[in-house]
Structure 1
């Protein structure tokens, strides 16, 4: 990452890090956000506290979450109020940069179960503008994983037992970028209309009429425009993209302005995909949608696109955090992971296969085939 700008006057790294700790008013213990109750709770004395509306972002609860200017961010012209510092530890195995309590000096990576030693590094990055609070608590996430594991026919029995009694699932907010953009595209191509001609062929010594499809092409030119809103791009490399893509959809209408209280008792992963790289992925998605729009605009039965030029303007973005529950475990020396959408409960994961179960299934299939063959032969012989 590029060298971060200096902290605002009168602010220290410690001040910024302490923004993520919320002591209990009754006993002084650390409070955590409870997905089940949608408020802060103290596990020491049971005291509860509503999420502070006064701290719900700079824009007030219920207001829309404004985006930042993309070109200004690329020029590093980001206001100090939109930057923050967090204590993160990078896993050497999977590359995840996860926020840890500075008091913790040794831990296990929640993404791959690799032991890691926390360092004293402070990550300076663009502050999230939006956060999607956890709706699913840990027991519900464990139930979802149990149901998912129960549906895996060839998973080892030991794996299913271990997953059910896994000591803990970690609640983690993973980073995303969203992009807005106005696009205007001009194209040149051809519109194809299918028609049929009758031809005669000789089949089995007889003359028969058949219909042959033909395409009549005509030139086509035009313009299409589209406004893209909240194109979502993963800003992390710690999980396989097929996992995170399969966790969709996310209901982004439930986004709240960023409030560190939602992270209390959870962890947050720092983004490792930079803004320009993320926009390249977003632009690829936009181009595919624009091509679909062009084909629809050309019309006809078939389309050819010879030239397509798109102007993109008013690009804006925001950094948001989305909730997942993750459990990483090691089975025969290899790491496997379960990931649960913290909003919907959708599950994705890695799994080993039981060689014994597969062998038994093959033997059972062969035995069934042999039985069917024997019965068929007996029936044929009795005729």
Structure 2
């Protein structure tokens, strides 16, 4: 387990979003993160597939011994806070039977900026209940690194399909007893087949199912080229979920995303005015992967017995999430609209009578 004491007061320091320093939350002292010279690496998937490995669901939680208060706690997170003194705790994720993180995209948005972003988001939800403003409270948001898999591959695909070419025919028809003609578009189909190739780089797949995928996908694209080689210091003071989506199933998801791009390539290769793709057989070469940690602020909001989840991009401050609707506000808006329409109709009627 890793903890980082402040050089001045001895308290545990935390990574400060948007900087390259570890900052003490008590005395404000800063410790710069020195460059290590490490580089982000891709790993051969073929070599990984041949290694013995237990599924993550069967692995025990991490055991943390807090150096601040001495409490011993367990968590399935890679980094967390002590339940008793809130000191940051970071597990050694480079040992054991799990895939170790290779890269981390550090937080760039701090808590103050997140609260401002959430405040703007909440105020723009016209029909949300007033209690939605609670989402901006500090205790409701957590800076959390979420695990993601990335995959690279060279692909070659053979396809079969049809090329459609438009042409025009003159059609005769009768309207009101009169014979007329018009031009009608037809399509002639020709068989087509061929081969396309494409290289994929950093196809991203979420490594956790604890956050709604529909929101994580909308947070893309991420500036993955700005990612740093993994080092535990970036995790200090922030939660980090360990992956629960295995790399094997994530690879299948990545291939399905590649397949959509490959089909578009096939259509471009077929040409013509329309295309039909009947079959695509793809071969994958030099498949590599890595585990990355991406920064997301998570907020949960309880309303009428239901929990709503809101996510904030830890680099851009973009806010996405669920929101409840206020029946009272909607009813008031409907009544106001009816009153307005009634007033307009009365005014129109009065002007006509006048």
TM normalised by structure 1 equals: 0.80
- Residue in structure 1 matched with residue 30 of structure 2 by the alignment: 48
CA contact (8 A) 1:88 1:99 kept: no
Farther off after superposition, 201-210 or 141-150: 201-210
- Residue in structure 2 matched with residue 354 of structure 1 by the alignment: 326
Which runs of structure 2 are paired with 1:145-224 in the superposition (5 Å)? 145-160=118-133, 162-167=134-139, 169-224=141-196
Structure 2 runs not aligned, ≥5 long:
54-58, 65-74, 87-94
CA contact (8 A) 1:180 1:228 kept: yes
- Residue in structure 1 matched with residue 69 of structure 2 by the alignment: none
Whole-Å separation in 2 of the counterparts to 1:335 and 1:196: 57
CA RMSD after TM alignment: 2.5
- Residue in structure 2 matched with residue 271 of structure 1 by the alignment: 243
Give the secondary structure class of the aligned counterpart of 2:253. Answer: helix
1:104 maps onto 2:83 in alignment: yes
Structure 1 runs not aligned, ≥5 long:
1-16, 55-59, 79-83, 90-95, 108-121
Whole-Å separation in 1 of the counterparts to 2:192 and 2:242: 47
Which runs of structure 2 are paired with 1:1-383 in the superposition (5 Å)? 17-18=1-2, 21-54=3-36, 60-61=37-38, 63=39, 65-76=40-51, 87=62, 97-99=76-78, 101=80, 103-104=82-83, 124-160=97-133, 162-167=134-139, 169-379=141-351
Whole-Å separation in 1 of the counterparts to 2:25 and 2:81: 20
Whole-Å separation in 2 of the counterparts to 1:177 and 1:29: 34
Deviation of the 1:204 alpha carbon = 3.0
Whole-Å separation in 1 of the counterparts to 2:203 and 2:170: 49
CA contact (8 A) 1:176 1:321 kept: yes
The 3 A distance-change label for structure 1 pair 97 and 193 is: farther
CA contact (8 A) 2:81 2:239 kept: no
Whole-Å separation in 1 of the counterparts to 2:35 and 2:85: 35
Give the secondary structure class of the aligned counterpart of 1:310. Answer: strand
Give the secondary structure class of the aligned counterpart of 1:125. Answer: coil
Farther off after superposition, 344-353 or 129-138: 344-353
Give the secondary structure class of the aligned counterpart of 1:126. Answer: coil
Whole-Å separation in 1 of the counterparts to 2:138 and 2:303: 12
Give the secondary structure class of the aligned counterpart of 2:139. Answer: coil
CA contact (8 A) 1:87 1:102 kept: no
Whole-Å separation in 2 of the counterparts to 1:123 and 1:152: 46
* Per-residue Cα deviation, 1:61-116 (whole angstroms, up to 9, x for no partner): 5x4x22111122223258xxxxx997289xxxxxx953455842699xxxxxxxxx
